[in-house]
Amino acid sequence: MADKIAKERVKKILKILRRTYPNVKTALHHTNPLELLISTILSAQCTDKRVNQVTGKLFSKLRTVRDFAGVPLPDLEEMVRSTGFYRNKAKNIKMCCSALLEKHGGKVPDNMEALLQLPGIGRKTANVILGSSFGIPGIVVDTHVKRVSQRIGFTTEKDPVKIEFDLMAAIPKRDWIDFSHQMIQHGRALCTARKPKCPECSLSELCDYPNKTT
């Protein structure tokens, strides 16, 4: 009976998320898998708005895998400086693009195993690329998904990979891509880190979060 109740609760939450956020996609501007890969690397500890400002200029100068692999590191660092942690990000981008040339013919692979072997690519980045570029189901666990999932009782884990697998077990596979985007939007709009807007939240009655605002 408990499992049935839990499944019904998940269905209700998914229904509300679909109604509240009907047209969802990644906020990172891109026109191909390579641009999304680079944007996602740059998005670590940085807002999507800032990343989009940087890549708007970046992608007008560097367009191909070979361009990114060949650009002098100091030049790339300067181009991405405002995203923060720019030295490490620039290094990862160059190493990743070199690996794409050497192992994948300059193309971004469309499977998790191959993506995880690329420098600077973890499961979060891989799932963003697989879902948004190739339509392959996966759950992206960023800071918003982590926070909202914990608050609504979908997971008690803190490790992003363990959270991902908890969510994969709870959410139907067909919903994984949209669910990730919906949770991210919900975390940004209402279920914020410091002052969640619980009275305005459409999930309020289904939420296990104990410190609701009044």
Q: What is the set of active-site residues?
A: 124, 142
Three-class SS of residue 143? Answer: helix
DSSP labels, 173-214: GGGHHHHHHHHHHHHHHTS-SSS--GGG-TTGGG---S----
Phi-psi region of 76 (alpha: psi -120 to 50; beta: other; left: phi over 0): alpha
Buried/exposed code over 190-209 (b: 16+ C-beta within 10 A; e: otherwise) = bbeeeebebeebebeeebeb
Distance of alpha carbon 91 from alpha carbon 73, whole angstroms: 7
Closest by alpha carbon to 109, among 174, 36, 25?
Answer: 36
